[in-house]
Amino acid sequence: MQTNFTPEQLRDPDIREADAILRKCVHCGFCTATCPTYVTGGNELDSPRGRIYLIKDMLENDRVQGPDVVKHLDRCLTCLACMTTCPSGVDYAHLVEHGRARAERENPRPWRERALRRLLAEVIPYPARMRAALRAAALARPVARLLPGRLKGMVEMAPKELPPPSPTARPRVFPAHGTRLRRVALLPVCAQAALSPEVDAATIRLLTRRGVEVVVAEGSGCCGGLVHHLGRSDLARGHATANLEAWWRETKDGGGEGLDAIVVNASGCGSVVKDYAHLFRNDPVLLEKANAIAALARDVSEVVAEVGLGEPAAPQGLRIAYQTACSLQHGQRIVALPKDLLRQAGFEVAEIAEPHLCCGSAGTYSLLQPATATTLRDRKIANIERTQPQAIASGNIGCITHLREGTILPVAHTIEFLDWATGGPEPPALAASSRP
């Protein structure tokens, strides 16, 4: 793609990066075949290629964009299926983030939209606030039909009951069973701590059984991904900086005992932590730490594969449909590993159609774009249910929560099934179901 940035514009490192990304695009259109919003809606401006043109025009002409352009950027799920498909290696993820941040700065939204997005940014990354908000939503459920638009949907999506707080709710060390073979830090995923604390509990049980000491570092918390995708890169760097400092103190270079890995059991967060070096690319003070931390980041499935499952203690032979989270398959390029682990643990894994298509969760997307999110979820559920599974596994809290709204099948994190098969308790979602 030909670009027309001025020498003055190219002095900006972000523009230089955008220019390099844009020049790789050859207009081939392969991305349209795997883009969820284009596949379901058919609008060229809701395809990666269309959004690339919009961002190019925005940056080259250095002008404030109208609401129609912002609308198409907002509709992107950032599922990154286009990057898996692209034969030219276009770094769409970083280009769309740059476009969103620019649009967010220069396009004042209607006050209701600003208030809603600010509410999400100031509640979800903080587990205590999230739990309080969910309790309030449960109380408001009887009058949900009287609430306006998306607020009504948010209240209806809130769980009727909240589980106890996560074991990672405060900093602590979970010792390895027997000889300590490894030492890892676990990211306390913000929304997951409120919605599904059993995921952290299962992760800790499985890893400590395999000789891994698990540390929840003082000061670690939200990865920053949620606000980053809302175009709030300043807030994202704030959350990420706290994590960098917290984990750095645990490394030998930072004066700690050392870390063999930083384990993330929500793949959306894992994609963000693995990309911290890019987030701090223009910060010479923090870039060294960001590079070191990003290099340590691992999805929980990667660490489990490294330490081994051991012999299954209670192989159930359950037929599981594995839903590959976009952030895992497209963001981290981890596709077969979780399915292989489930099979090693004694489960039958069903292969579903259109595994590359997003389920519609995508962080806050299901809250901000409920119509598209529901269409994609229903399509995903239909593909899953055709395989006649007894349960659904996924590696991301957003996908798990979203899928539960559309099916009676029990949905749980992959690590919960692996923990159960190797000596842990039955996943709560499974225990509460009436599966055959």
Calculate the dihedral angle through the C-alpha atoms of 239, 294, 395, 328, rounding to the nearest 10 degrees.
120
| Tokens read off for 256 | 């700690």
127 in the same domain as 39: no
Residue 164 within any structural domain of the chain = no
Residue 266 within any structural domain of the chain = yes
198 in the same domain as 139: no
Residue where one domain finishes, among candidates 255, 272, 305: 305
| Tokens read off for 231 | 């175009």
Residue 163 within any structural domain of the chain = no
Q: Which domain holds residue 245?
A: 172-305
Q: Residue 434 pLDDT > 80, yes or no? A: no
Q: For residues 317 and 315, what is the distance between their CA atoms, to the nearest angstrom? A: 6
Q: How many CB atoms lie within 10 A of CB 388?
A: 9
242 in the same domain as 217: yes
Convert the pLDDT of each residue in 173-220 to its tens digit: 999 999 999 999 999 988 888 888 999 999 999 999 999 999 999 999
Is 137 in a helix, a strand, or coil? helix
E strand or H helix that includes residue 392: strand 391-394
Q: Residue 65 pLDDT > 70, yes or no? A: no
Q: Residue 56 pLDDT > 70, yes or no? A: yes
Task: Name the band, by pLDDT with cuts 50, 70 and 90, for residue 20.
Answer: very high
Residue where one domain finishes, among candidates 157, 192, 225: 157
Residue 148 pLDDT: 66
Convert the pLDDT of each residue in 297-323 to its tens digit: 999 999 999 999 888 776 568 999 999
CA-wise closest residue to 326 among 44, 93, 89, 17: 93
Q: How close are the terminal C-alpha atoms of the chain, in Å?
A: 55
328 in the same domain as 289: no
Number of domains in the chain: 4
298 in the same domain as 178: yes
Q: pTM value?
A: 0.92
194 in the same domain as 146: no
Residue 4 within any structural domain of the chain = no
Q: Angle, nearest 10°, between helix axes 414-421 and 198-209?
A: 40
Q: What is the CATH number of the domain that holds 388?
A: 3.40.50
Residue 262 within any structural domain of the chain = yes
Residue 144 pLDDT: 67
Q: How many CB atoms lie within 10 A of CB 296?
A: 18
C-alpha angle 375-379-380 in degrees, rounded to nearest 5: 115
382 in the same domain as 260: no
Calculate the dihedral angle through the C-alpha atoms of 159, 341, 270, 325, rounding to the nearest 10 degrees.
-60
Residue 63 within any structural domain of the chain = yes
404 in the same domain as 331: yes
Q: Which residue has the higher pLDDT, 310 or 144?
A: 310
Q: What is the CATH number of the domain that holds 68?
A: 1.10.1060.10
CA-wise closest residue to 153 among 163, 164, 145, 165: 145
350 in the same domain as 227: no
CA-wise closest residue to 321 among 201, 417, 203, 238: 417
